Amino acid sequence: MDESQKQEFRALIVKITNDIDSDDFNKLKSLCKDFIGQRDLSKLNTPLDLLHQLEQHQKLKPNDVEFLNYLLEHGCKNGSTLKSHVTTYEIKWSSSKDTPKDMKRVATFLANNLGREYKRVLRSAGLPDNRIDILIEDNPRNTREVIYQGFCECFSRDASIEDIIQALEASRCKNLADKVRGNDLG
């Protein structure tokens, strides 16, 4: 795991805890009773202390924020706002290893077969221009990697293979859409 990801995760934790009031803090502690003993919970004075304790118990990790989302959703009045910070973090740090095998195959196939129209297809698949620009900046002179990472990110944003097929068709890449639909990814 990248050191900058760890630092950004810590910044995310600080940002979230700044917006947790005392009522929400007590609710969060209640939600954590199964993971942190009552005696240890009583020693925690701030939301930041609680989240650090959860990190020590391996419930919060820079590459797994599922439990953090659960806590924010069920323990905070402004949980949806706080979860939006987590979503932004997830989008930035999502990795292709979390992409299911069939989606990886589609991403690899498109990286090897999609030409100049890749930006239009990625946009049509729901990837914002700023993310495409970041991928291009991170992978200069490596269009295949930009395409691969772009489609992996689309999948991590809950795009389905059918969504990608529709994006290909909307971008006049019917031949590639047919191959993906027919699983002809040879």
| Rounded CA separation 138/14 (Å) | 27
Q: Considering 93, 113, 128, which residue would you say is the last residue of a domain? A: 93
Residue 103 in domain = yes
pLDDT score for 182 = 83
40, 73, 93 - which closes a domain: 93
pLDDT at residue 2, rounded to an integer: 60
82 and 124 both lie in a single domain: no
Cβ(12)–Cβ(84) under 8 Å? no
Residue 166, domain member (yes or no) = yes
Q: For 26-40, 103-117, 146-160, which range has the lowest pLDDT when averaged over its residues? A: 146-160
Looking at the domain assignment, is residue 124 inside a domain? yes
Exposure class string for 61-76: b at 16+ Cβ within 10 A, else e: ebeebebbeebbeebb
Residue 186 in domain: no
State the pLDDT at residue 110. 96
Same domain, 27 and 87: yes
Q: Are residues 29 and 60 in the same domain?
A: yes
pLDDT higher than 90, residue 5: no
Tens of pLDDT, residue by residue over 91-102, are: 777 653 444 678
pLDDT higher than threshold 90 for residue 73? yes
* pLDDT over 70 percentage in the chain: 95
Indicate whether 76 and 156 sit together in one domain. no
Kindly report, residue by residue over 20-66, the tens digit of the pLDDT: 999 999 999 999 999 899 999 999 999 999 999 999 988 998 878 88
Confirm whether 165 is domain-assigned: yes
Give yes or no: residues 11 and 85 share one domain.
yes
Residue 102 lies in a domain: yes
Provide the residue range defining the domain that includes 61: 3-93
**By mean pLDDT, which of 14-23, 93-102, 104-113 is the weakest?**
93-102
- Among 39, 63, 93, give the residue marking a domain's end: 93
CATH number of the structural domain spanning residue 16: 1.10.533.10
Residue 152 lies in a domain: yes
Cβ(93)–Cβ(62) under 8 Å? yes
Shared domain check, 134 and 101:
yes
